[in-house]
Structure 1
Amino acid sequence: RIFEDLPITWLLDAVKDTRINGHAVRLAGLRCTANRHLDGARLRRLLDGASEHTFTLLLYHSPDLMPEAVELGVDLYLCGHTHGGQIRLPFFGAVFTSSDFWKRYEMGRYEKSGTTLYVSRGLGLEGLGAPRARFLAPPEIVLWTLSS
């Protein structure tokens, strides 16, 4: 609500087609309901008919839609949710991710069949089911520069 009056286009279950430096770009944003199967179906409907020649960037809370993103030809998928596990152990990594894929996409960059997924550790601390602390999972802010 604090952002309602700002000149921002909200991508809540929406797609925004635009051009950046003469290149077609499709921005897609999907609300997270915490039900991967329902959200996957909604993503399919949202991106139905998307051109494979248009760069598609997906914004979604968690990495749990990676299989659907690959299937739909999403180029770049940005998310957070796992916080890098918040509590990490040497030689093991994340103790808890709250993701359906557990440690498969705990933090950082992943590539599969032309889709790049980036899971940001973010700045916050989760309190629902996870400790409100960070250990060996430093916060991060990521700046992306897209180029052709």
Structure 2
Amino acid sequence: SEIELTGLDDPHIKRDRYARVAGGPSESADFSMGVVHAPYLRTLDAFTADGYPLVLAGHTHGGQLCLPFYGAFVTNCDLDTDRVKGLSTHTAEGRTSYMHVSAGCGTNRYTPVRFACPPEASLLTLVARQ
């Protein structure tokens, strides 16, 4: 089995440089996924358009400050608050990828607390398509 992982540096500080890895997974890959620290739409669009079936990200801290029954106030990137953590899909150029954003365990220096957003470490179980 051939596994292909493609990663980017942090888009939050404009170091993602997708052009260096563009083109998508090879035809021989049995499984491929993209990995990026911050789920900015430009990187999600690029991975999805190139045919990666799964993209993993973090950075959002799950919104970090949430309101019960409402959810996150911010994402700390241009991703919508409905997809600030957990599994969702992303569509670009007629293709759809799964995306998982981990809420993580941390905070940031400007907001050193979490509210209604428990820390998490994600464990994903991947299964073959039937």
Task: Tell me whether the two structures share a fold, i.e. TM-score over 0.5.
Answer: yes
For 1:84 and 1:68, locate their aligned partners in 2 and report how far apart those are by CA, in whole Å: 23
1:135 matches 2:115: yes
Q: Which amino acid in the other structure matches residue 107 of structure 1?
A: K
- After superposition, the C-alpha distances for 1:71-118 in whole angstroms (9 at most, x for unaligned) are 111111111100111110123311222112242531111113431100
Size of the alignment, in residue pairs?
121
For 1:46 and 1:120, locate their aligned partners in 2 and report how far apart those are by CA, in whole Å: 23
| Structure-1 residue corresponding to 2:46 | 68
CA contact (8 A) 2:85 2:100 kept: yes
TM-score, normalisation: structure 2 = 0.79
For 2:79 and 2:3, locate their aligned partners in 1 and report how far apart those are by CA, in whole Å: 28
Structure whose alpha-carbon radius of gyration is higher: 1
User: Which runs of no fewer than 5 residues in structure 2 stay unpaired?
Assistant: none
SS at match of 1:34: helix
For 1:78 and 1:135, locate their aligned partners in 2 and report how far apart those are by CA, in whole Å: 24
Counterparts of residues 2-13 of structure 1 (less than 5 Å): none
Q: Which runs of 4+ in 1 moved over 3 A?
A: none
For 2:127 and 2:60, locate their aligned partners in 1 and report how far apart those are by CA, in whole Å: 27
For 2:104 and 2:33, locate their aligned partners in 1 and report how far apart those are by CA, in whole Å: 19
Counterparts of residues 30-69 of structure 1 (less than 5 Å): 30-34=8-12, 39=16, 42-48=17-23, 50-52=25-27, 54=29, 55-64=31-40, 65-69=43-47
Q: Which amino acid in the other structure matches residue 92 of structure 1?
A: Y
For 2:27 and 2:45, locate their aligned partners in 1 and report how far apart those are by CA, in whole Å: 17
Change (3 A) 1:143 1:89: same
CA contact (8 A) 1:106 1:119 kept: yes
Bigger relative contact order, structure 1 or 2 (CA pairs below 8 A, ≥6 apart) = 2
SS at match of 2:21: helix
- After superposition, the C-alpha distances for 1:50-84 in whole angstroms (9 at most, x for unaligned) are 32563221111011121112111111111110011
Pairwise CA RMSD: 2.1
For 2:121 and 2:102, locate their aligned partners in 1 and report how far apart those are by CA, in whole Å: 8
TM-score, normalisation: structure 1 = 0.71
Change (3 A) 1:94 1:49: closer
1:122 matches 2:104: yes
